[in-house]
């Protein structure tokens, strides 16, 4: 049995249960926002984030509250701040 040297600390906080948001959903959201913001500049609203949540059937209000609590106040800050603040460790990227 090999030692797992990739054991990394858990993310600072998991998404709260009431958002029904999985780490995988957040990673996908970051990807979608990254793509989206390559082709347009942020209107400083949550249009792309909302679209993503609605498409997945995820709760919008509680998820936006979660994102705001982590520094995301629009699509571009969700990408630039929440990704950094919340998802520091690459835990689960391969298994999510
Ligand atoms: Zn913005």
One digit per residue, the tens of pLDDT, for the chain of length 96 reads 444 444 444 444 555 555 567 888 999 999 999 999 999 999 999 999 999 999 999 999 999 999 999 899 999 999 999 988 776 544 444 444
Task: Please report, for the chain, the start and end positions of each structural domain, with discontinuous segments joined by +.
Answer: 20-86
Residue 56 pLDDT: 94
**How far is the C-alpha of 74 from the C-alpha of 61, rounded, in Å?**
14
User: How far, in Å, from the CA of 4 to the mean position of ligand 1?
Assistant: 39
pLDDT value, residue 23? 82
Whole-number pLDDT of residue 16 = 52
Distance 31 CA to ligand 1 centre (A): 16
CA of 19 to the centre of ligand 1 (A): 22
Distance 35 CA to ligand 1 centre (A): 14
Task: Identify the H or E element spanning 84.
Answer: helix 83-86
- The Cα-based distances of 42 to 14, 46, 47 in angstroms read 27, 9, 9
- How many angstroms does the Cα of residue 96 sit away from the middle of ligand 1? 27
CA of 34 to the centre of ligand 1 (A): 12
């Amino acid at each position: 049995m090999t030692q797992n040297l990739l054991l990394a600390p858990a993310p600072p906080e998991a998404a709260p249960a009431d958002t029904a948001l999985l780490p995988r959903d957040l990673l996908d959201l970051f990807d979608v926002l990254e793509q989206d913001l390559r082709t347009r500049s942020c209107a400083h609203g949550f249009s792309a984030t909302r679209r993503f949540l609605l498409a997945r059937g995820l709760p919008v209000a509680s998820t936006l509250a979660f994102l705001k609590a982590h520094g995301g106040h629009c699509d571009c800050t969700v990408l630039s701040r929440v990704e950094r603040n919340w998802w520091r460790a690459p835990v689960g990227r391969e298994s999510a």
